[in-house]
Amino acid sequence: KEEELQMPKPKHHIVICTNTRAPGHPKGSCGEKGAQNVVMKFAEELEKRGLFGSVVLSGSTCVGVCSAGPIVIVYPDA
C-alpha cells in the first residue's frame, strides 16, 4: 500500500557525529569521546517520549570541530 511506504515528515533532525580515528590521532574524534553513548541516550529518550517519527536521529562522519566533541546538531534549531 502506498501510504505504508511513505516516510514520516519529521519536525526535527538530530545529527550526532560518530566519527572515529586511529588511537592517538592529533585531532581526536567524537567516537572516542563517547558519541555512541550519546546516540543511545538520545534514542532512549526519544522512545520514552514517543517522538520517533516526528524526530529523526542520525549518526554522521566528521563535522570538523573534533576538540569540542561529541557534536550534536539539531535541525531546525530547537
Hunting for cell 502506498 — which residue is that?
Answer: 2
pLDDT, position 5: 74
Q: What is the DSSP letter of 66?
A: G
Rounded-to-integer distance, Cα 51 and Cα 64, Å: 28
pLDDT score at 24: 86
Element holding 2 (H helix, E strand)? helix 2-5
Q: Which superfamily is assigned to 8-75 in CATH?
A: Glutaredoxin (3.40.30.10)
DSSP letters of 7-59? PP--SEEEEEE-----TT-TT--TGGGTHHHHHHHHHHHHHHTT-BTTEEEEE
pLDDT along the chain (78 residues), means of 10: 72 95 89 95 96 92 91 87
- Report the predicted TM-score, pTM, of the whole model to 2 decimal places: 0.83
